Chains A and B, each alone.
Chain A
Amino acid sequence: MPDGALPVLDVKNLKTVFHTRSGDIHAVNSVSFDLRPGELLGVVGESGSGKSVTMMSLIGLLPSPPAEVREGQVMLGDQDLLKIGEERLRAIRGRDVGFVFQDPMTSLNPVFTVGFQIMEPLRRHMGMDKKRARKRAVELLELVGIPDAERRLKDFPHQFSGGMRQRVMIAIALACDPKVLIADEPTTALDVTIQAQIIELVKDLREKLGMAIIWITHDLGVIAGIADRVMVMYGGQVAEHGPVREVFANPAHPYTRALLKTVPKLREPRAEKLRVIEGQPPMLGAHPAACPFRARCAHAFDRCARENPARRLIGKGHDVACHWDHRTGEPT
């Protein structure tokens, strides 16, 4: 991971609000991060942590209303994606930014052949004619490891298994050589042995194509295996962020620390009793002015209810949003 290189994607202070009848929901609350060329950024969080909504906000995939991207800056190269408008965004989605979603069955169109769906972005964004698009589609299917690619172009999504469908999704996402690939829980719907296949494939493709990847998941194990950096989200904001080894070895945020302890490990001796994070996940954005984790936090004190902690640097590229210092065990 080249440290000094200019980021391909630079997100600053992103705020997304959902307007609902029972009040505003602050789904994304001042999220900032960057993505460097060729790097894999893992985004971990539970349901409602805002990890998917953040990525949807970036490229204008949220329906508005009820969603409103209220503030922030999303620089892709030298353009601000929040300012350029729907028309130019449409040209960027699928060309500069590729997507892979969780459930390949619902994100593929069941009434078109797989070949048509791979050729669509090629013809639309790259202006290829049918013949060239077809040739490229075969190459792409071969690239993602689908046997007998030429013939399978004519098949419909339901004729593929779950793992193969996800490979098709990856092929579509890669069709136009994107600078950034956003993968939202791409292996969550798959079985472990198939998940292992897809992870191998992504590792392999990274080496071959060198694009930058944002990989969203709730599975700490997947992140540990593939990410360069990790961003832990909780209650719509970034709790902790840093190089993956550093964050797993020296977690600083009470949430990260508890989360790493609560997950049983297969390759380590069995614990007599599982460590528990008490309480329930937060209602989003009830108090955007306070720390969202305070109700479940073992170290919370009065300041946590008054002031939402800002991210502070605690090591090289490692930052945490918490009023409690994990090294001294005291408030900062």
Chain B
Amino acid sequence: MTSPRKALVEVRDLKMHFPISGGLLRRQVGAVKAVDGVSFDIFEGETLGIVGESGCGKSTCGRAVLRLYDITEGSIKIDGTEIGTMGQGQLRRMRPKMQMVFQDPQACLNPRMTVAGIIAEPLDEHGKLSGKAKLDRVYELMDAVGLNRNFANRYPHAFSGGQRQRIGIARALALNPRFIVCDEPIAALDVSIQAQVVNLLEKLQDEFGLTYMFISHDLSMVKHIADRVAVMYLGKVVELAERDELYERPLHPYTEALMSAVPEPDPAIEAKVERIILRGDVPSPSNPPKGCNFSTRCPKVMDICRKLDPEYREARPGHFVACHLHDAGIMDNQTNAGSAGAPPRNEHKQQGEDA
């Protein structure tokens, strides 16, 4: 879908490498390429879901987009302002626009501050509200996230996980942000509480016109909340598309495998599901394989995948994928070269191929 919508967040070739130092002089001997060249837009008012397994760089990507790190390379524009190279002083003035909700509501709340104190902290840092106006604002926020006003003077330990996550959300909302990065906001919550928090996030999005980057490993939940979804593997976005397009017609073999691996809470469906079981584990991001990052586990791997890193390109309108199978130029070459490459799909196995 080509859309006239305005991109609120524009990320281009974002790289976040963490140095590994070693040896006697603690020189840098390598780098963990946690995020290695990702590009995407997030449109105003939409939710971009980022899915992937642990270590794929999705959380690092979210933190880097908010400039919680000094990024290695690339450009990040929020509402047209380049923040990729911005200094901390200027960045601080941008902070009210962009906020974050963290995974662990236990760890991200100061246990020695009251709920009112926690929610008011950003107001103290960035605003000049009087005591009364501030308290009113805190109450307003507590109402918005469904917390009882009478609990304003309690401490985080007195709340359950779901309620704590509400406190974290209220704090993120305090400064009327436009963009919120939600980093696995429901992963630490019980199943029966997850829906409460997701519905709250959706309600707040409608009310305040928020734009979300929703990072999660739960593909079913991302299918529910996201408008568009990016799939990450080993520091790269391998596929990005509109939600329905991605879930109904995944192009990348990794996306296919990831989706087939999700267990479905329905024995009748489970009995029929054909699983693509990937062999092996994710390689280390400090030493990614040559060529395509997924080539070591890909069930449809071809010779070229082990040599050449596939280009991230638009295979269908609005549907981006980084895979040689969906690169017409490469695939034509493969067919012309006859049996030089392995068969791309099982249905046309070519002769002269070793298994």
Q: Which residues of A contact B (CB under 8 A)?
A: 46-47, 161-164, 191-197, 199-200, 218-225, 244-245, 248-249, 258-260, 262-267, 270-271, 273-278, 280-281, 296
Contact = CB atoms under 8 A, between A and B. Distances in A.
A274 to B, nearest CB: 4
Which of B221, B224, B268 has the most chain A CB atoms inside 10 A of its CB? B224
B219 A192 contact: yes
B266 A46 contact: no
Chain B interface main SS type = helix
B220 A263 contact: yes
Contact of A277 (B195, B243, B247, B275): B195
Contact of A280 (B162, B202, B219): B162
Interface stretch (B12-20, B59-67, B253-261, B328-336): B253-261
Given A264-B224, A277-B192, A192 B265 contact: no
B311 interface: no
Chain A interface main SS type = helix
A199 B262 CA distance: 11
Contact of B190 (A218, A275, A278): A218
A225 B269 CA distance: 9
Given A192-B53, A193-B257, A224-B270, A266 B262 contact: yes
Given A192-B258, A197-B278, A46 B190 contact: yes
Nearest to A275: B195
17 contacts: A46-B191, A191-B53, A191-B54, A193-B257, A197-B277, A221-B262, A221-B263, A221-B270, A262-B192, A263-B191, A265-B265, A265-B266, A266-B219, A266-B259, A266-B264, A276-B195, A280-B193
Given A46-B190, A224-B265, A191 B199 contact: no
A224 B163 contact: no
Contacts of B220: 263-266
B83 interface: no
Interface in B145-186: 160, 162-163
A273 B203 CA distance: 10
Interface string B252-293: 000001111111111111100101011101100000000000
Contacts of A245: 267-268
Given A196-B275, A274-B224, A276-B195, A249 B261 contact: no
B296 to A, nearest CB: 13
Give 3 nearest A-B pairs by CB, closest first.
A221-B263, A220-B265, A191-B53
Which of A191, A244, A265 has the most chain B CB atoms inside 10 A of its CB? A191
Nearest to A147: B280
Given A266-B247, A281-B192, A221 B265 contact: yes
Given A46-B192, A262-B191, A263-B220, A224 B267 contact: yes
Contacts of A296: 192
B266 A262 contact: no
Contacts of A259: 191-192
A318 to B, nearest CB: 14
B264 A280 contact: no
Contacts of A197: 277-279
Contacts of B202: 273
Contacts of A280: 160, 162-163, 193
